[in-house]
Amino acid sequence: MTRVLVLSWEYPPVVEGGLARHVRKLSEGLAHQGVDVHVLTRGDETMQAEEQVRGVTVHRVLEPTRPRDLGEFVAWIEHMNADMLAAGVELGDRCDFDLVHGHDWLVAVAGDHLANRFRCPLVMTIHATEYGRHQGWVDRHPQSWIHGIERWIANRADSVITCSHYMHEHVCDIYALDERSVTVIPNGIDPLDLQPVDDLVALRARFAEPEEQIVLLVGRLVYEKGFQLALDALAPIARRLGSVRFLVAGSGTHEQELRAQAERLGLTERGTFLGWIGDDVLHSLYRIADLCVVPSLYEPFGLVALEAMASGCPCIVADTGGLREVVPDGERVGLRFNGGDAEHLGVMIERMLTDAPLRERLVAEAGEHVRRFDWTDVARRTAGLYDEVLGAAAAISPQSA
């Protein structure tokens, strides 16, 4: 049985974003595939230091709450890696690990040291890049430092996983990687995880009148998510149709600027900024919304669009990045707009809101489409990659002995 040490800076109940959910579902899926999965992550004093959860052994390193200031955050990440390394060394004394699998630059240093100590391969999943998040502007600290860590760990890893073909091309280009060292394994989705928990009629009544339509925006409130485009697009539609409301679910560094933009556009009375919300509420919001818009300027994959479609909510996404793969062209499962073009987005939003047969057709087709993104298949392909990496390592070890 293959024994893998998975490193992630977040794992439920610590949830900063989609990474925690990805690592949990993948780890549980790998366990079902017969892989002995140990996850090394962070936690606080309310959480068990070690526990078995759905076939996965979770080890938590006690860490203080992360700082919001980016400069302090970088120092905090360095400290977290030192703590993870110490904990990983102790784990290695108890368990013989065949492979280390790290997720993003946040655990790069610990992953490198532990793979070296265990004399085993290192697999890295690159979920996003600093270069992409900042549209190539990585010449100043701390962006330059993060970009350097990402480039180093991508080249140091024995194998790299990306979540889309777009990301495959992206990381090979900016990190000068051999294409054969990068494998595309998409993110998965489990519709059973998306069950609403609220009284949907009462929840909808909190935000809109029966005759009004709700446009939903979900994600971290940062520039690259493009919510500013959605607000620009919604302003004339709200004036023209008079029956449109919007909900923004998420928090982030761009929140105050977005709130100020909504006020300038006269949208304050037409929508609600909900702040950070838990998964249970989010799953209910998908069910009450008439439309979900994903206007990202940079998007490695597009999980929000997938979740919305799986929940029966029609989608409009930017024609960029991994969103092109989640919502293929042809207006079969959703609509796409020209990335960065608020005017074109507005045309698409108005079309969707005023064409009920279109919405119904897209929802029906999307329900079938999302079945392609199955966690069992994701785990099977990942376990297969582990076997390939371990086989390659075994083939060269006699020569290096």
Mean pLDDT to the nearest integer, 304-308: 96
User: Which one-letter amino acid corresponds to residue 137?
Assistant: W
Mean pLDDT of all residues belonging to the chain: 95
Model confidence pLDDT, tens digit, residues 113-142: 999 999 999 999 999 999 999 989 999 989
- Between residues 65 and 152, the one the model is more confident about: 152
Looking at the fold, whether 132 and 219 belong to one and the same domain comes out as no
Looking at the fold, whether 141 and 199 belong to one and the same domain comes out as no
Structure tokens at 81: 């890696």
pLDDT at 25 over 90: yes
pLDDT at 170 over 80: yes
Looking at the fold, whether 240 and 293 belong to one and the same domain comes out as yes
Neighbours of 285 (CB within 10 A): 25
Are the CB atoms for 10 and 42 separated by under 8 Å?
A: yes
CATH code, 341: 3.40.50.2000
State the Cα–Cα distance between residues 266 and 235, nearest whole angstrom.
7
312: left (phi over 0), alpha (psi -120 to 50) or beta: left
pLDDT of residue 206: 95
State the Cα–Cα distance between residues 172 and 350, nearest whole angstrom.
38
State the Cα–Cα distance between residues 153 and 81, nearest whole angstrom.
14
Looking at the fold, whether 38 and 148 belong to one and the same domain comes out as yes
Structure tokens at 372: 């392609």
Looking at the fold, whether 114 and 200 belong to one and the same domain comes out as no
Cα angle for residues 228, 125, 4 (degrees, 5° grid):
145
DSSP assignment, residue 191?
G
pLDDT of residue 311: 96
Model confidence pLDDT, tens digit, residues 264-276: 999 999 999 999 8
Structure confidence at residue 396 as a pLDDT band (50, 70, 90): confident
Q: What range does the domain containing 255 cover?
A: 191-372
Are the CB atoms for 317 and 144 separated by under 8 Å?
A: no
153, 200, 255, 294, 360 from 221: Cα distances, Å: 27, 25, 6, 12, 29
| Strand ranges of the sheet holding 315-318, from the earlier edge strand across to the other edge | 271-275, 244-249, 213-218, 291-294, 315-318, 335-337
pLDDT at 259 over 50: yes
Model confidence pLDDT, tens digit, residues 295-304: 999 999 999 9
Looking at the fold, whether 27 and 168 belong to one and the same domain comes out as yes
Number of domains making up the chain:
2
Mean pLDDT to the nearest integer, 332-359: 96
pLDDT of residue 118: 97
Reduced to 3 states (helix: H, G, I; strand: E, B; else coil), residue 364 is helix
Name the least confident of 98-107, 148-157, 218-227, 328-337: 328-337
pLDDT at 397 over 80: no
State the Cα–Cα distance between residues 157 and 153, nearest whole angstrom.
6
Reported pTM = 0.92
Orientation of helix 143-156 relative to helix 165-175, angle to 10°: 100
Are the CB atoms for 63 and 80 separated by under 8 Å?
A: yes
Looking at the fold, whether 141 and 248 belong to one and the same domain comes out as no
Looking at the fold, whether 343 and 362 belong to one and the same domain comes out as yes
Structure confidence at residue 398 as a pLDDT band (50, 70, 90): low
**Percent of the chain scored above 90 by pLDDT?**
90
Looking at the fold, whether 175 and 233 belong to one and the same domain comes out as no
pLDDT at 330 over 80: no
Model confidence pLDDT, tens digit, residues 221-235: 999 999 999 999 999
Looking at the fold, whether 198 and 96 belong to one and the same domain comes out as no
Tally of residues, the chain:
401
Looking at the fold, whether 317 and 210 belong to one and the same domain comes out as yes
Looking at the fold, whether 109 and 217 belong to one and the same domain comes out as no
| Residues contacting 262, CB < 8 A, separation 6+ | 231, 268, 271, 273
**Percent of the chain scored above 70 by pLDDT?**
99
pLDDT at 92 over 90: yes
